[in-house]
Amino acid sequence: MIKCTVCGLREAFYVRRYSGEKLCVKCFLESIEGRVKATIAKYNMLRFNDRIAVAVSGGKDSTSLLYILAKIERDFPMASLYAITVDEGIMGYRDEAIEIASEHCRSLGVKHFVTSFKELYGYTLDDIVKRIRFSGSRLTPCSYCGVLRRKALNMLAAKIGATKIATAHNLDDEVQTFLLNIIHGDFLRISRTGPSFDEEEPGLVPRVKPLCETLEKEVALYAYLKGIRFQENPCPYAGEALRNDVRNMVNRLEEKHPGTKYKIYRSAEKIRGAVKDKSPRIPLNQCKICGEPTVSDICQACNLIQNI
């Protein structure tokens, strides 16, 4: 029997290649919860009186994040926790995910709020996709979905009086986004995309990412070991070609050189710090159509909706 290198008592079932640790189930689970707590503390993500809205899609990352935050909240009942979900209107996919998310919230005793593209914009994502395919637009369903969901989450969080939105981006997501921003030379995004937003902007509920230092496969393993139900089927519109290629490339590097993902993550932190001081702070206006914060006169979401 190979013993756990942390407790030295139980049988190890998982080798953490980047650190060399061999972990038993208990120590593995505790290490994930400990990592999330450490990430929250390191970036000062949450204050004791925060009203935290966790963006729950029903996938493995968001259901695990809600589970861990609910556990932390039970141990230290300081902040209040809510779950928010956006129904994009993807038939046969999001409906199942929402049912899973609602059941998960019920079992954790967390109040769940849902909004939808249809309710906010008048169209489901399926409607939008039909229209853009008909018009021959070069934009992908994900480009619409990302922008519209971001605004929907902000609106719902503001409506319920949340002071933070916690999203379930994991370390792999962060590394991919950083590399994509490098590929596109988008230094403004590099400076603004990170574990937490420390600048307070009127009308924008600050976002935090408590899983941003946890590997995707370890989040999946956590969900599996805890018996958390989540939606496994991929979205029918998934397939942002470049992100997929970046993901595969980084996975290959990690396989050959364990620890590469953490190295890229730390490198992103350094570069973000350097770029932040040099990037101008752009004041936000109120969108002339919907009143949401925007860098232009009309927000990206209204722009997209007007042109479908």
Rounded least distance, CB 126 to ligand SF4, Å: 10
Given 145, 165, 211, 299, the residue binding ligand SF4 (CB under 6 A): 145
Q: How many binding residues for ligand SF4 (CB under 6 A)?
A: 8
Phi, psi of 46 (to 5 degrees): -125, 145
Q: Does 228 bind ligand SF4 (CB under 6 A)?
A: no
CB of 90 to ligand SF4, least distance (A): 6
120 binds ligand SF4 (CB under 6 A): no
Ramachandran angles phi, psi of 80, nearest 5°: -110, 145
Does 238 help bind ligand SF4 (rule: CB under 6 A)? yes
Question: Which among Zn ion, ligand SF4, none contacts residue 139 (Cβ within 5 to 8 A by kind)?
Answer: none
Partner whose binding site includes residue 299, from Zn ion, ligand SF4, none (CB under 5 to 8 Å by kind): Zn ion
Identity of the amino acid at 17? R
Decide whether 152 or 299 has the Cβ nearer to Zn ion: 299
Nearest-angstrom CA–CA distance, 104 and 83: 10
Q: Could you tell me which residues come within 8 angstroms of residue 69 by beta carbon, excluding any fewer than 6 positions away?
A: 36, 52, 54, 81, 166, 210
Rounded CA-CA distance 146/165 in Å is 16
CB nearer Zn ion, residue 24 or residue 208:
24
- DSSP string of 226-272, one letter each residue: HT-----SPPTT---HHHHHHHHHHHHHHHHSTTHHHHHHHHHHHHH
237 binds ligand SF4 (CB under 6 A): yes
First and final C-alpha spacing in the chain:
61
145 interface partner picked from Zn ion, ligand SF4, none, CB below 5 to 8 A per type: ligand SF4
Single out the residue of 68, 147, 208, 302 in contact with Zn ion (rule: CB under 5 A).
302
Positive or negative: CA dihedral 130, 131, 136, 141: negative
Residues that bind Zn ion (CB under 5 A): 4, 6-7, 10, 24, 27, 287, 289-290, 299, 302
Residues that bind ligand SF4 (CB under 6 A): 88, 141-142, 145-146, 235, 237-238
